[in-house]
Amino acid sequence: MARVIEIGVTVEELETRRKRVEAARRFEEPDRVPVVPAIAHRFLVPQVGTKFRDYYADPEVMLRTQILAQKWLLENIRTDAYSITGPWVGAWTDFQNNFEAGSLGCEVIFPEDDIPWVGPGWVKTEADLRRLEAMDFIHSGLNAKQIAYRRRMIDIASKYPARFKGGPVFYPGAQASLSHTSDGPFGVAGDLMGKTEIFLAVAERPDFVRELLRIVTDKLIAYLDFCWEEEKLPTPRDFAWTDDLAVSLSAETYRDIVLPFEKRLRFHFDGRVSLHMCGRSGHLLDIFVDELRIHEFQGFGYEVDLERIAEVMGGKVVLLGNVNPMLIHSGTPAQVREATRRVIEVLAPLRGFIVQDGNNIPPGSPLENINAMMEAAEMYGR
């Protein structure tokens, strides 16, 4: 019989956290402001002694590492996270933000000691667009590997049972997920062309960019439909996506070139939708509310003006952010508490607010700095 991975958090505590987070997401008043630090696998994988290259090379290593990493997180980080299964948390086919470009002809580099990254873009000409359009996005590249990894995780789920204190044994791998999210039409197009090249093309060849975005969006939707069918996911269909690269566009250019394709992707889904965008996104907030009609803005950047986001989104969109991750990495606990207090004072009275960094805590950040966000929530967020 496989040894059970014991996670030192009680099921009662997890239920308290779940109710707190869900109350915030319903714009109710929780007992205190929830805190969910954004700690990704770049931070977590080294905590359990796994090499990145081994993690990405073997689905069993990936599954085991994810479960142990979530155990480490829940036992060491003060958080209101309450689950370890599902995409971007645990038991999922984790190729980070590369699986789309890595299934559309881009090389993906897997370093020995870091997460993978996308190589140079290749889409330059009309002929390249036609080649791209003909590609099987679902069954090639990293997406083909995702499908195989997920099935392998399910096959070996019984080898990795887990249990919270006072709860039943469960098997995270039995609910293994594909990456049914997206880096967004413009973000994926930027990988395919190259970041500098796509911004030049926006100015010089906007119709070329529109055609590229059309092809990319068609493929993203086809893949996501496949995920819902493959995993038998519930309806109405919830969806979370990002489009970080688009933050550098003006509101006028974003609305003219990118927004039609963002809307096609977003309104393909009829459930709850969550958007993430790093950076200085204040000039786009009205578009997100009025035209994309998002329900949640996850991990909004520390550069976003708090008064501006409170005015545009407060009480309408669930907000997760925006404590400076560089401050968490290099500051003091007192500085992190003060930054968190400031965010709470501006956004918590409007309801629908969850404390988070803005966005993605760097590896090497002191635990006392991460946990200072929870200390501030307990002091100022009740």
pTM for this one? Answer: 0.96
Q: What is the pLDDT of residues 64-107, one digit of tens each?
A: 999 999 999 999 999 999 998 666 667 999 999 999 999 999 99
Q: What is the pLDDT of residues 309-365, one digit of tens each?
A: 999 999 999 999 999 999 999 999 999 999 999 999 999 999 999 999 998 899 999
Q: What are the strands of the beta sheet with 318-323, ordered from one edge?
A: 239-242, 273-276, 296-300, 318-323, 353-357
Q: What average pLDDT does this structure show over 141-164?
A: 97
> Which residues does residue 356 pair with via DSSP β-bridges, in sequence order?
322
**Long-range contacts, 367-370 (Cβ 8 Å, 24+):** 367/76, 367/77, 368/333, 369/327, 369/328, 369/329, 369/331, 369/332, 369/333, 369/336, 370/37, 370/39, 370/77, 370/78, 370/328, 370/336
Q: What is the pLDDT of residues 219-270, one digit of tens each?
A: 999 999 999 999 999 999 999 999 999 999 999 999 999 999 999 999 999 9
Domain locations along the chain: 272-382
pLDDT-derived band of residue 1, with 50, 70 and 90 as boundaries?
confident
Instruction: Give residue 271's pLDDT.
Output: 97
Q: What is the pLDDT of residues 172-219, one digit of tens each?
A: 999 999 999 999 999 999 999 999 999 999 999 999 999 999 999 999
Q: What distance, in Å, lies between the first and last C-alpha atoms of the chain?
A: 45
Alpha-carbon span 343 to 373, nearest angstrom: 11
Quick count: other Cβ atoms within 10 Å of Cβ 328?
A: 25
Contact residues for 126 (Cβ-Cβ < 8 A; gap 6+): 208
CATH code for residues 272-382 = 3.20.20.70
CA neighbor of 358 nearest in space, from 314, 324, 312: 324
